Amino acid sequence: MPKLRRVVGLLSCMGLVLAQLNGGALGQGQRMEAVVIPVQPPEGGEVAPNSVGGFEGDDPVLNDDVMPGVIYRQQGWYLFPQTERVSVRGWLDGGFMGNTGNPGSKFNGPYNAVDRANEAMFNQAYLIAERVLPGDGAFGVGGRADLLYGEDFLLALSQGWEVFPGKEGNWNSGQYYGLAMPQLYGEFGTRELSMKLGHFYTIVGYEGVPAVGNFFYSKSYSYQFAGPFTEWGGLASWRPNKNLEVNGGLVNGWNILDGVPNAVSFLGKARVQNDPNSLAASFAIITGDQFTNVAGLPTVANGKANRTRYSLILEARPTDRWEYVFHQWLGTQADGAPLGGTALWAGIDQYLYYSVSEKWKAGARFEWFNDVDGTRVGLNRPANPNKPSLPGNYFSLTVGPNYLPTENLMIRPELRWDFYDGDAKPYNDGSKTEQLMLGFDVILKF
């Protein structure tokens, strides 16, 4: 009960802060009035209904915006009043992942997301309080704060913010359920040129922490183990037209406000698309000194050296129903290999989506993750026994539909097969090299 009261108190504070921001913008004492919020197309250009790429306005958002936390506002009703620039909204997400191997530890192999086997999971109670920049090109000031409570809190923690290793004061007392604030930033500028300062999601990768916007309930290996989840620092964005967007800034490494080490990293991304958004490509990178031994391996020195991760995404939308995404990425850690030298991890993710109707969408994901030196796969909850070193090639095939019975409700069943090529046995508590899972989750937006 004390933890629940703390969560409710923080959610209430977020609403009050946004109400004050809105009051300052619209006039003292003026109340926020509910308005109909249209589908928000990708910044920089409109997307005509039923055109190539037109289904991006619907759920799920089938582009690479979910990684940095861009969540489009299209739903039938809102719990809180909305205006064109100010919104308080969120969702509830929970599900079940059945594992045919029935592991005794109840962990789905070396996962850190959707990781509990054969038991119900409450993944996210997520709240967003946001004020966006003006849509007419004028200069303005905005900001955003996100709160996440549930089993997915582990993915959104930052050293020096929610986590203080070896010290008292962590926000989260439980291993499976906790509270995190993955974003808290201010933003100023125009829709063409702006600067974001504070705490925000990384821009490197394809999938993201928010349940809304990801097609599948389970997560790719590249999302879980290849890169950072959040950043602290500053990020500039330049959108000269709808065909080009460039981001660049300086951040304090991976998921660190104040920790080990404190070192500046460069974060950058460029995305180009054609006029109808039927073809697009993006390249993102983060590079800078980081802790060399995150896996705690006995033969790796605890030091500081360069860590780099890049992400290349190609998107093709030949019609308004089909979309194909190719994601190739690479990570390196200097002085991080167990036998000395640079540790490597690399892989390829591929996604194919088909829009059957307004209520049904089908998807498939096939991925390959090569943890060359066994330094990444298995960075998970303390009780999960499937820990590094687990070097080798990881593969997974995931298929399933998304069903949207209403604009506020999404159901995501899926079938997933994981298999592994290497010297370890990463599944069923170290006894198998493959596993088969069948699960689903339900998302209610408010």
Q: What DSSP letter does each residue of 342-364 carry, written as one string?
A: -EEEEEEEEEEEEE-SSSEEEEE
DSSP letter at 247?
E
Taking the C-alpha atoms of residue 277 and residue 330, their distance in angstroms, rounded to an integer, is 26
Encoding tokens for residue 40? Answer: 């928000």
Q: How far apart are CA 253 and CA 334, in angstroms?
A: 15
pLDDT of residue 69: 72
With CA atoms as reference, report the closest residue to 126 among 159, 96, 153.
153
How crowded is residue 435: how many other Cβ atoms within 10 Å of its Cβ? Answer: 21
Q: Which of 312, 313, 319 is closest to 353 using CA atoms?
A: 319
Give me 43's structure tokens: 């910044």
Q: Which two tokens stand for residue 34?
A: 């509910």
Residue 272, Cβ neighbours under 10 Å: how many? 13
Give me the pLDDT at residue 163, please: 86
Say how far residue 358 (Cα) sits from the centre of its chain. 25
Q: What is the pLDDT of residue 67?
A: 73
- Comparing CA positions, the residue from 200, 376, 402, 414 lying closest to residue 297 is 376
| Cα 249 off chain centre by | 19
pLDDT computed for residue 276 by the predictor: 84
Domain span holding position 301: 2-445
Contact 366, 396 (CB under 8 A): yes
Contact 186, 141 (CB under 8 A): yes
Compute mean pLDDT per 10 residues along the chain, 446 residues long, and list them: 42 41 35 32 35 37 65 85 93 98 96 95 97 93 96 93 73 83 97 96 94 94 96 97 95 93 96 89 97 95 97 92 95 96 97 93 97 96 93 98 94 98 96 97 97
Tell me 380's DSSP state. -
Q: What is the pLDDT of residue 195?
A: 97
For residue 150 the two structure tokens come to 């549930």
CB atoms within 10 A of CB 259: 19
Question: What is the pLDDT at residue 164?
Answer: 81
Residue that has been written with the tokens 């298929």 in this structure? 399
CATH at 82: 2.40.160.10
Q: Count structural domains, the chain.
A: 1
